[in-house]
Structure 1
Amino acid sequence: MLRSLCATLSLKPTGHGRLLFMLHPRRDMHSRNKTAMELIAKGWSALKEVDRVIDYCELNDRRLLPLLRTAKENFELALEADNSNTHARYWLAKLHLKYHVPGKCLAVGAALLVEAANMGDPDAQYELGCRLRVEHDYFSSDQQAFYYLEKAVDQLHPGALYLLGAVYLTGDCVKQDLASAMWCFHRASEKNIF
C-alpha cells in the first residue's frame, strides 16, 4: 500500500514534508495525549494522598484544600491539553461528586461523568451505572443503569461484571438468567476482584 501511495504521488523536492504529514496525520496527537496523561498522573497522585489522610481529618480540613486544588487544576489542564481524554473527564467528575473541593458543583460532576461514559470510558460507565441504580428522590432509571453496566461489561470492567452477574442472578431489572450470571462471575474472577 505504501508503494502504491508513493508511486501515485509525484514527489517534488519540497514534497517530502507533505508525504510525511500524510503518512503521520496525527503526529501532534501523541504529544497532547502524553501531556494530558502526565497531568492526570499528578492529579491522581494528589487524590491518593487525600484518600490516605481523609479518614483522620474533617472533610473541609484546611490541610486537604491544597491537595484538592492541585488535583482539580491538573485534571482541568489535562482536559485543556486533550479535550478527548476520557480519563481526565472521569477523574474531574469524581472530584466534583465525591470530594469537598473548592468550586464543587454536582451538576458539573454529573455532566462530566455522563460525557465520559458516552465517550466509552469503562470506569465512568460503571460509576454511572452504579449511581443510576441507587434510588434518588428526583431520578432513578434501572434501564439506563443496565445500559451503562452492559457497556462497561463489553469492555470487561471487573466491577461491572460482578454487578451485572448479581443483577442476572437476582433478576432485579431483567429476566433471571443463571447462565449469564455465572459467565459474569467467572469473567470477574479472572480479573481478580474477589
Structure 2
Amino acid sequence: MKAIIQRVTRASVTVGDDQISSIGRGLCVLLGISVEDTHTNAEYITRKILNLRLFEDENGRAWSKSVMDWDYEVLCVSQFTLQCIFKGNKPDFHLAMPAELAQPFYASILENLRSAYKPELVKDGKFGASMKLHIQNDGPVTIELTSPPVSSDPRQEKQQQRKEKTRSKGPSESSREKSALGSRQDNNASSGADGDVSSERDP
C-alpha cells in the first residue's frame, strides 16, 4: 500500500459543485491500495498516519508532535493512481486492487482510523467519484509512505514491529558494548599493548 501524506492548513473535497468534506489543520492522505495488500498493510499505514511526528510542539520544535497529539483532523482520499506503472508513456493500473474489492478494503481502513482516533476528526472523499481536491500544503511537507511486504512468518512481522518501536530510540546496550569494545581494541593497538606484539619485541 502506498500513501502520500501532506501536512495542511486546510483541505477539502468537492464532487461536481458539492463540497463533501473539509478539514482545518491536519493531514491530507492519498491512499493507493494494491492487489497484494492485506489488513496487515492497512494496520501499518493506519499506525503511521496517526503517529508520524510532522508538527511542532508547544515550544516551536519541529517534527515533535503527531496529528493525535494536537487533535488535528485527517482527510483520506482513495487514490488508485498511486499504484501506476508505465508502459512507455502510458500509465498502467493493473497493480491496483479492483474497485469491487478496494471499496470495502478502503472502508475498513477508515474504520480503523476512526476506532484508533476520534471518529469526528477523520473525513474522507467519495470512493470512485471524480473528485476535486483542494489542498493548502503547510511547509510544504509531503511524505511518501509504502507499507513493507507482508511476511508469511508471523515471527518476522513481530520483529518488524519491534524495529519500528525502537528505531527512534538510542542505540541498544549491545550496540554500545560493541562500540566500547571496538574503542578499547583501537586504543590497545595504537599503544602497542597487544600481547603478541610486545612478546615479539622482547630480546
Structure that is richer in helix per residue: 1
Q: Which has the higher strand share?
A: 2
TM-score of the aligned structures, taking structure 1 as reference length: 0.22
- TM-score normalised over the length of structure 2: 0.21
Larger Rg: 2
Structure number with the bigger relative contact order (C-alpha 8 A, sep ≥ 6) is: 2
